[in-house]
Each structure stands twice: as C-alpha cells, then as structure tokens.
Chains A and B, each alone.
Chain A
Amino acid sequence: DTEVTQTPKHLVMGMTNKKSLKCEQHMGHRAMYWYKQKAKKPPELMFVYSYEKLSINESVPSRFSPECPNSSLLNLHLHALQPEDSALYLCASSPSTGITEAFFGQGTRLTVV
C-alpha cells in the first residue's frame, strides 16, 4: 500500500470557522509533511513531523496548527483563516526526513469565504 489518504477532498469554510484536515498513511513512514500549493505554483512546505515530533515549522501563521497523534496520522487544525489561505493542502510521507522520496496524498481543496 503506497497510499496517503487525505480527507476531506474539498472544504469550504468561513473566516470564523474551525475545521481540521486529516491525513493517514500505512507505509510505516516516520516523516510526514504538510504543504500548501497555490494555482500554478510549486508546493510550499509548511510543517515536517519526524517520529511524531514537529521538526520544522516554516514560519507558518498560528491559525494553522498541526498535530501528529501517532505515526500513521497527521492533522492540520484551521482557525480564523483568511481568503488568501484558499489553496490545495497536500500531505506527504517519506521513510524518514533523511529520505524524502515522498508520497503525496490527493490533497484537500480549501476555500475560505
């Protein structure tokens, strides 16, 4: 199984809402990533978890809050987002942060209204 599953596929939320994005992998990977991708731009790294500990936070605003409950799951909690946060949010995993042959999920298309 080389699949990274993200839910939901689409999400529309208001600026005062709280929502969460979920990501799951069963490949035994110990590194998991959140990326943000705007149209016609490359994926932009947000967070890296290594062995369930946050190892990299690329200066992401606090309205994005990651969580890694266990080695298979990764969440991204969203609160008080802005319209400019609308994007495709991608989760990825790799065997470790030393090996980033990453497998990506299909993404969550987020629209903030």
Chain B
Amino acid sequence: EDQVTQSPEALRLQEGESSSLNCSYTVSGLRGLFWYRQDPGKGPEFLFTLYSAGEEKEKERLKATLTKKESFLHITAPKPEDSATYLCAVQARAGGSYIPTFGRGTSLIVHP
C-alpha cells in the first residue's frame, strides 16, 4: 500500500530560525511529488512539483528537494507569514489512472 508520512506533525520556530520538514514515501511507480501550503479554512496552495531524485525547486524562503525515499522542504529565515500547514502529496500509478495521496501535513508556527 502506498504511504506518505510527514514529520514533524507540528513545528514551532522563532522568526529567522531555519528548519526542514520531511516527507517520506513508499509508492510504486512515483510520477511526481507535490508540496502544498494550506492556511486554516482555505484550500491548499500549490508550491512545488518534484519528479526525480536529485531535483530541487526554490521559491522565496522555501526550497524543496527529493531523494528516492523522501523529500525535504527547507525553510530559510522564516517569517510569521510562513505559518501554515504544509502538505506533501505523491502521485502514483493505480491501473490506468494516477491517484494523489496526501500526507497528514506539518503544522508550522513561526513566532515573531
């Protein structure tokens, strides 16, 4: 069974304190790994897609990396506005379709 595990469940940082979120996965036939940001009561906002091991993507203070078993979302010098839940999803083949499987997310709080 395909699985996506995110850690930690919750993370509290001081403004400027860099850290990383982890997404480990066990899927057969990975077609892509996605990172989303979700604010309370809102829909997830797409951040990055990673397709192959070694790939990296950056956007402002966020950098996503991918290995054969896990992905990291590095947050450099975070600001309070980076507080949100960060979701990881993998897209794996299921017969003739591709079904996205989400992890439970990491709730990030950045204190000023």
Residues in chain A within 8 A of chain B (CB atoms)? 4, 6, 41-43, 45, 48, 50, 55-56, 88, 90, 92, 97-107, 109
Contacts and interface: CB of A to CB of B under 8 A. Distances in A.
Interface size class of B (residues with CB under 8 A): 20 to 34
A70 to B, nearest CB: 21
A106 B43 CA distance: 4
Given A88-B41, A102-B46, A107-B41, A43 B32 contact: no
| B contacts with A: majority SS | strand
A88 B89 CA distance: 18
A92 B43 CA distance: 9
B59 interface: no
Contact of B91 (A90, A100, A104): A100
Contacts of B98: 97-98, 100
Contact of B43 (A45, A50, A107): A107
Given A99-B32, A101-B46, 18 more contacts: A41-B104, A42-B87, A42-B104, A45-B99, A48-B99, A56-B99, A90-B43, A98-B31, A98-B98, A100-B89, A101-B34, A102-B34, A104-B44, A104-B45, A104-B46, A107-B41, A107-B42, A107-B43
